[in-house]
Amino acid sequence: MEAQTVISFLVGLIGAGIGAYVVSYFKISAQITAETNHIKEKLEQIYLKKNQEESAKIDAVTNKIDEILEQQRAITSTNEAAKIDVLTAKMDQVVEQQKNITTTTETIKSNVDIDNWRKKENQILRRDKIELLYTKITQSSKIRRDFIYGQHTLNEERKNEIHEDVANISFEIAKIIALYFGKEEELVKHVNEFIDVQKITLRAMNKNDLNIKNNLDFFENLDDSYLKATTQMKEYIINLMKEELED
């Protein structure tokens, strides 16, 4: 009986101990769980805070980058606009210069055309005067010859007409030389010799002295000087025309 009591007591004691242990275990387990949850919560708060801070830093850096990029775009845009303005101004300048060049070129071309036309006209005129000069010298020789060798058969009226013709042709020859060939010194020299002979001839034709008028030897001797002057003039004029035609 005592033994059963002791066993019951021991069993009760063991049961109480186990119960206390179980209670204690659950209590400690609850405390550990609570602490674990608390730590997790703290860790989550810390992580969230860190995450927010990092996000804030990232946002700040991103904003800064955007700001820098915007500034760069603004600078680039300004620079490009400035470049475009410069290029536009340069293009306008080039266009204006091209207009001036075109105008100048057209003016030069026009002047060249005018100069070429003037030169051509002068050449044509000069050739016409060379031909006219040669014709006048030939006419003068014929009229002079008709007078000298036909004076015995010519009446006074015809003689006066021939005298006037010789004077007019001599004047026309001198005028052509003065107006168009003044720089041809050698030709001027030959023409002056020709005019001097013509003056003597005209004075002789004007004299009333029949011994001079009817003196064939006088005119034939004068003819040597006349022939020399006319021959030299014609040779010079022929060479002058050759030079003109070669230009």
d(CA 60, CA 54): 10
Taking each helix axis from N to C terminus, what angle separates 2-150 and 185-206, rounded to the nearest 10 degrees? 20
CA distance 115 to 132: 25
- pLDDT at 128 (0 to 100): 93
Could you count the other beta carbons within 10 Å of the beta carbon of residue 230? 21
* pLDDT on residue 135: 92
- pLDDT the model gives residue 239: 92
Q: What is the dihedral of CA 164, 166, 169, 174, to 10 degrees?
A: -110
Regions of the chain where pLDDT drops below 50: 209-211
Token pair 């990029």 is found at 69
CATH code linked to domain 124-246: 1.20.120
Q: Give pLDDT, residue 196.
A: 85
Q: For the chain, which residues make up each domain, given as ranges?
A: 11-47, 124-246
Q: Are 145 and 203 a contacting pair, CB within 8 Å?
A: no
* Token representation of residue 238: 């022929």
Q: Which helix (H) or strand (E) holds 38?
A: helix 2-150
The residue type of 51 is N
